[in-house]
Amino acid sequence: MTKTEKYTSLIPQIQAVMDPKVDIIANMANMATMLHETFGFWWTGFYRVINNELVLGPFQGPLACTRIAFGRGVCGTSWKERRTVVVPDVEQFPGHIACSSASRSEIVVPVFQNEEIVAVLDIDSAELNTFDEIDARYLQEIASLLSDFEE
């Protein structure tokens, strides 16, 4: 299957398990695991904005740092610049926070609620150049499924 085929088959499955009656963390947890298992990423998870910093949320993969400051690393940059950040080679990204030395490329997508960023979706790959415009487009669509959830 191509990447596009994987995303287009995964999105309805994620929509089917999203439950607006439970809190956002439960839904992030299922979303992280479905993405992680479909693509075999190295690390897939969320950081939530709490008291003006990013705090580790539901994830799949190895141990990760628990807190990230505004503007720091790829996650903090995505939050500060309010945009998806695609990093083809983490060693070339100034300030990249290495939670795992096996991570080689990364994408971070902000999660918006009413134009406010409440979290970021962070995905790491153990290979270089994993993420591109296709991932950005579909992951933004997936992240937007969390826009209606209350904290």
Please give the residue ranges that form the binding site for ligand SME (CB under 6 A): 43, 64-65, 68, 73-75, 96-97, 99, 103, 106, 122, 124
Strand partners, 50: 53
Beta bridge partner(s), residue 101: none
Q: How far apart are CA 145 and CA 88, in angstroms?
A: 26
Q: Is the Cβ of residue 24 or residue 120 nearer to ligand SME in the bound state? A: 120
Residue nearer to ligand SME on the CB measure, 17 or 63: 63
Query: 34 vs 68, which CB is nearer to ligand SME?
Result: 68
DSSP assignment letter at 131: -
| Nearest approach, Cβ of residue 19 and ligand SME (Å) | 25
- Identity (one letter) of the amino acid at 99? C
The SS3 assignment for 132 reads coil
In the bound state, the residue with its beta carbon closest to ligand SME is 73
